[in-house]
Structure 1
Amino acid sequence: MTYLIDAWLDRPHPYLRILHRETGEVCAVLEEEALNELQEQGDLDVNGLSSSEPLVLKELVRNLFLFCYARALRPAHELQHPIEI
């Protein structure tokens, strides 16, 4: 499968979406709280988002999916706004 990263990080309420390239289906959404957590952990390299290197982007998408799944498994009281996958 091929994915697209749709990221709007320089706005008042940033978000990042992972879209299925062929269907346009939204596969994952990371909003402000999750993006802040990723950046605090050092797991979101904003420069990586603008890379044209396929391996860099593949690794970034993989890490974003893993983060989403790990976050979805946390108890609800640990999150202010749980993310649905």
Structure 2
Amino acid sequence: MTYLIDAWLDRPHPYLRILHRETGEVCAILEEEALDELRDQGDLDLAGLTSSEPLILKELVRSLFLFCYARALRPHNEIQLH
């Protein structure tokens, strides 16, 4: 499977979505609170988001999925996984 990252980080209510490349299906959504947590942890790599290197993007998507699943396991999660 291949994925696309749709990130809107420079808006009042930023979000980042991971989309299935072939179907356009939304696989995960990170909204403002989750993005703030990633930034606070130093795990949001803005340079990686603008990279065209497949290995960098693959690692970024993997890290974002892991973060999403870890947050989904917490009580009162606010992240959506599809």
Normalised by the shorter chain, which TM-score bucket? over 0.9
Which contiguous aligned blocks of 4+ residues in structure 1 show a shift greater than 2 angstroms? none
1:5 match: 5
How far off its partner does 1:51 sit? 0.2
How far off its partner does 1:84 sit? 2.4
| Count of residue pairs the alignment pairs up | 81
Larger RCO of the pair (alpha carbons < 8 Å, separation 6+): 2
Q: Which consecutive residues of structure 2, in runs of 5 or more, have no partner in the other structure?
A: none
How far off its partner does 1:47 sit? 1.0
Rounded to whole Å, the distance in 1 between the matches of 2:79 and 2:14 is 15
**Residue 68 (str. 1) matches residue 64 (str. 2):** no
Rounded to whole Å, the distance in 1 between the matches of 2:71 and 2:5 is 19
Contact 2:16 2:30 in 1 (8 A): yes
1:12 partner SS: coil
Matches within 5 A, 1:1-85: 1-76=1-76, 79=77, 82-85=78-81
TM-score by length of structure 1 reads 0.92
TM-score by length of structure 2 reads 0.95
Q: Output one character per residue of 1:37-79: Cα deviation in whole Å (capped at 9) or x when no partner.
A: 0010011111110001100000000000000000000112xx5
